[in-house]
């Protein structure tokens, strides 16, 4: 396994950066959905 040879701090740093990227992507998705909904409601 590659993860067993990796130092713990490096593994945590990679996991943290991946979690931050996923969080930002999720936040962007929520903002996009909100804006699309806002445009649809205000267009009526």
pLDDT band at 43 (very low <50, low <70, confident <90, very high): confident
Read off the pLDDT of each residue in 33-38 and give the average, rounded to a whole number: 96
Read off the pLDDT of each residue in 24-29 and give the average, rounded to a whole number: 98
DSSP 6: S
Please tell me the predicted confidence (pLDDT) of residue 8. 80
pLDDT band at 17 (very low <50, low <70, confident <90, very high): very high
How far apart are the C-alpha atoms of 35 and 26, rounded to whole Å? Answer: 14
Please tell me the predicted confidence (pLDDT) of residue 4. 62
The CA–CA distances, whole Å, from 40 to 6, 34, 43 equal: 49, 10, 5
DSSP 43: T
């Amino acid at each position: 396994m590659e993860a067993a040879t990796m130092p713990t701090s490096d593994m945590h740093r990679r996991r943290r950066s991946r979690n931050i990227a996923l969080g930002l992507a999720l936040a962007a998705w929520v903002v996009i959905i909100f804006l699309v909904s806002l445009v649809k409601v205000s267009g009526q």
